[in-house]
Amino acid sequence: MLFVFAAPSGTGKTSIYREILNDNPGIDFSVSATTRKKREGEKDGVDYFFLEKDDFEKRVANGEFVEYEKIFDDNYYGTLKSFIDGKISEGKDVIFDLDVKGAMSIKRIYKDKAVLIFIKPPNKEVIKQRLLSRGTESPETIEKRLARFDFEMEKINEFNYVVVNDDLKKAINEVQEIINKYKSGVK
């Protein structure tokens, strides 16, 4: 199964899926491709597939991505079809960390193999506070992320499941229950 997580920035999605990956060693993480520069400690093929912009655009033109987007920092991010198809052929379950448009693309292409899980914040103000407390982004980037919030929330009904993250431990347990349903064959 392809478990696709999407949420507005600052919702806690990363904390949730990392815990799920730790507790489920048989599930792989989908490694995205990006044109952004590699940060210290990151490994190509593990954290991201780091591509030059012209290579990324060539792959887009060749239809090699199931989804891609130019994000806030003016870099491309996307999911290579060959990566997903390889995991499916190996019989692996995969967790994806995508935006709502990327999640819709995965669902459109992989249909019943894709389970869309929307991580919903308690409210927009909580998101703003979480983004500010990170201290990792400029005020302009935070405003861009907040501006996207309403668009993302409008797509919530297109997801198979909605998990509210007002308590991280509870949200992790809810997501684990969803994954367990699919692993046991009960949906």
pTM: 0.86
Q: How does pLDDT run across 58-80, given as a tens digit for each residue?
A: 999 999 999 999 876 789 999 99
Reported as a single tens digit per residue, the pLDDT across 111-169 is: 999 999 999 988 777 777 777 777 777 777 777 777 778 888 889 999 999 999 999 99
Q: Which residues contact 10 (CB under 8 A, 6 or more apart)?
A: 121, 126, 127, 128, 130, 131, 134, 145
**Angstrom distance (rounded) from CA 111 to CA 98:** 16
How high is the pLDDT of residue 31?
95
Asked whether residue 185 carries a pLDDT value surpassing 70, the answer given is no
- Beta carbons within 8 Å of 53's beta carbon, 6+ residues apart: 35, 76
Instruction: Compute CA distances 122 → 1, 15, 54, 61, 168, whole Å.
Output: 28, 16, 40, 39, 11
| Domains, in order of start, for the chain | 2-184 (3.40.50.300)
